[in-house]
């Protein structure tokens, strides 16, 4: 793969990191709102219970991030394959036009 083609893929990878970060923040903020609304109900929560609850929430967020990362990875691979196919098609077209 030419260096320029690899360089053009880098913005997509940076975009993937940004998407993952935004999704994680959204999930953390979104999952925090119901806990705030239930304030008096959670007042009797012990520190150990709070730690367990927060760890469970963090594990859920991590699983969601991993699932989304897998989906993005598939899309990146498809995108790269399509770019390579397009480059081959354009090269073949230029070769045919030159004849």
For the whole prediction, is pTM greater than 0.95?
no
With a CB cutoff of 8 Å and minimum separation 6, the contacts of 46 are: none
Q: Are 30 and 64 in contact (CB under 8 A)?
A: no
In angstroms, the Cα distances linking 45 to 19, 33, 42, 58, 94 are: 34, 17, 5, 18, 70
Q: pLDDT 10s digit of each residue in the chain, 99 long?
A: 454 544 455 555 566 777 777 777 777 676 665 555 555 554 689 999 999 999 999 999 999 999 999 999 999 999 999 999 999 999 999 999 887
**Domain ranges across the chain:** 13-98
Alpha carbon distance 61, 44 (integer Å): 25
Tokens of 2: 């030419």
């Amino acid at each position: 793969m030419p260096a320029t083609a690899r360089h053009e893929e880098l913005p997509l990878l940076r975009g993937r990191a940004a998407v993952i970060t935004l999704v994680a923040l959204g999930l953390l903020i979104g999952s925090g709102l119901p806990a705030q609304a239930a304030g008096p109900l959670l007042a009797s929560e012990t520190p150990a219970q709070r730690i367990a609850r927060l760890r469970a929430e963090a594990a859920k967020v991590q699983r969601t991030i991993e699932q989304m990362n897998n989906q993005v990875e598939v899309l990146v691979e498809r995108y790269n394959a399509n770019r390579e196919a397009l480059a081959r098609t354009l090269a073949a077209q230029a070769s045919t036009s030159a004849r």
